[in-house]
Each structure stands twice: as C-alpha cells, then as structure tokens.
Structure 1
Amino acid sequence: MRVMPIRYSTDVAAMTRFYEVLGLRVGSVSRPGGWVELPAEAGMLALHRGDGVDVGRCELAFETDERLEDVAERLRAAGYEPGPVVDEGFGRSLRVPDPDGVAVQINEYDRELYT
C-alpha cells in the first residue's frame, strides 16, 4: 500500500511544474489534464497530535536526502521563494509556498535526534 496525498488546485499545470522542481516526475496524466500523478520513490503518513484549529488539517511534507540549501537554490532558480532553513527537533526544514500560496515543508532528517 502507498500513501497518496491528493492536492487540489485551480492550476494543475503550475502545480505540476512546482513539484517537478522539487524532484518529482510526471507519471500518468488524464486526457483532459485535470489529474496528474507524480510518483515518488517512497512515502509515509505522519500523524501529529493537535487540538483546536489543527484538528483535521493536512500538511504536505517531503523528506529529502539532499542538502536543503541545494533544494532552496533549485527552487529560487525556478522562480519560487523558499523560507529559511530552520533547525528542528528532528533535523532541519524549510517551507516554500506552492503556486496556490499553500506552504509545503521539506525535511532533512537526523534520525539520531528523535529516535
């Protein structure tokens, strides 16, 4: 079984380009263009405790083996503006708004920090 988050957007072409810059590749595409699959090498579902406004919220995050500085540079070169690389309890992360303005988180894990 694979986890397949579904991200809805008013501009599928712009979203496809954004996720290609992140490193995903286009897979199956519907003939009308309203559905595009972007397979990844692997995926996972992360569950986090939340309350109040966080309950039911879904956030899109990716784990990378690349240095976050390299990911950020690739995003900038493609016209996207990532936020700063931030030290976290699990390693480091950065956030970048997608074409709809929704933040996408990219994580560089240091498993020694939290396992």
Structure 2
Amino acid sequence: MTGVVIRPLRFTNDVDAMRAFLETVGLTARIESERGGWAVMLAGQGMIALHDAATSSTGGRPGQTDLVFEAEDLDALKATLDDAGYADVSIWDEAYGRILSAIAPNGTKLWVDERSEDLYGYRLNETPPDDRWSVTPYLTDTDQAGWTQILDLLGTRQQVYFGPGEKEGVRMDLSTSEDLAAVLRRLTDAGYQVTRTGGTLEIVDPDGLPMVVHG
C-alpha cells in the first residue's frame, strides 16, 4: 500500500530528552508541537512519534510503545482494508487530524494516522533524513501471524522483527548502514549507556528501556 509508513508511538515523561537521544542516534526531527509534548522523528525509512504520557487522552503509560502507522490517503486505505475483509474499518477526526482503525480477520487491531498538511500549532523541519537509518520495530511474544498479514497488506513487512521477550510489546529498534563503531562513539560521547555485541548495539534510552541498533 503506497504511502503507508511505519511509525511506532512512544509515550514518555520527557519528550525533549527522547528527541535529543534519537537525534544523537541518527534520526531527524520532522514535526513538533509548538506547546511541546509531541514530536515526530524521521529516518530514511520510517518514523518514531513521541507523546507526552502525562497528556495522553488514551491512557498511554510512560515507556509504552505502540505500533502505529501513517498514511497519505486514509480513504484509499479504507477501501483496501474493506476489500481484504477487515472489520470495523472506521475513520474519524481528532484535533490533530484523521485516524483510521480496523480489526484484522484474526482480531489484531490496526491504527493509522493520516499525514496532515495543516501545520497550525506545529513546527515543520525540512532537513532531509539520513538515508542510512530505518525504523525497524521488534515485536515480542505477539500475534506474529496477525501482524504479518497486516504488514504484507501495508507493504511494510520487511521493516519489522519478531522474537521472544519478557512480555508482549514493541521494542523501538533501528537498523543502519552507518559504521557501528562511529555510532557507538557518538552515543558514548553523549553519555548514553551502550553495549556492542557483534553487529548490534544495545542502548538504554532516556525512558530506561532498551533499543537495539542492527548494523
């Protein structure tokens, strides 16, 4: 599905700290609220959204990460999902734009935000992202079959890892073609806790949670 981008949503107690961390890793700020509390970080492929947990209207907890998507055209996406047999495909307006929700045939819930051109109350950064970086979430102990079906339909299957974990959830992983030694130096120089194991870096983010960078 052209125009669909993977965009994990992290609820955090400190949006500014998480933004600074992701910028140090290699992402670029794309858009942020003028009042604070919201920012979208852009990679060459994929995005990460940061939301102040204290102002979440959905009860998002600090450190909670949800697998969400962004699309250019929700109406076209709705037609695709209807044709594929998804249930309860709905689009509604929120203060910040339109949202689509749907339920896959096996019960997995899908959320997609529409890309908005209305920047009232937001600042847009037009700095291009680093094409060496991709957002590649890691889903632990989840419904792999259900998510694979969704990801194949959206055209984003190659961006998601599946594997074991202590509990079901989404780990906010990244992949890069940048030299890992350079990334390691940049992060340690900035004071972040990083461990290298072969072709991966495990980093403790400002929320105290692990992020893995795959080389």
TM-score per shorter chain, which class? 0.7 to 0.9
| TM-score, normalising length: structure 2 | 0.44
What is the match of residue 189 of structure 2? Answer: 77
Q: 1:49 to 1:61 in 2, by over 3 A?
A: closer
Aligned residue pair count = 101
Gaps of 5+ in 2: 47-135, 137-158
Is residue 86 from structure 1 mapped to residue 197 from structure 2 by the alignment? yes
List per-residue Cα deviations over 1:21-64 (Å, max 9, x = no partner). 0111111111211110111111354141548x44x311111111
2:211 aligns with one of 93, 104, 107? 104
Q: Which structure: greater strand fraction?
A: 2
1:71 is displaced (CA, Å) by: 0.6
- For 1:105 and 1:31, locate their aligned partners in 2 and report how far apart those are by CA, in whole Å: 30
Percent of aligned pairs with the same amino acid: 30
| Equivalent AA in structure 2 for residue 19 of structure 1 | L
1:66 is displaced (CA, Å) by: 1.2
Q: Please, what is the CA RMSD of the aligned residues? A: 1.6
Q: 1:47 to 1:72 in 2, by over 3 A?
A: closer
- For 1:17 and 1:38, locate their aligned partners in 2 and report how far apart those are by CA, in whole Å: 10
Determine which structure has more spread, i.e. the larger CA radius of gyration. 2
- For 2:163 and 2:189, locate their aligned partners in 1 and report how far apart those are by CA, in whole Å: 36
Gaps of 5+ in 1: 109-115
List per-residue Cα deviations over 1:54-96 (Å, max 9, x = no partner). 4x3111111111121111100011111201x213xxxx11101
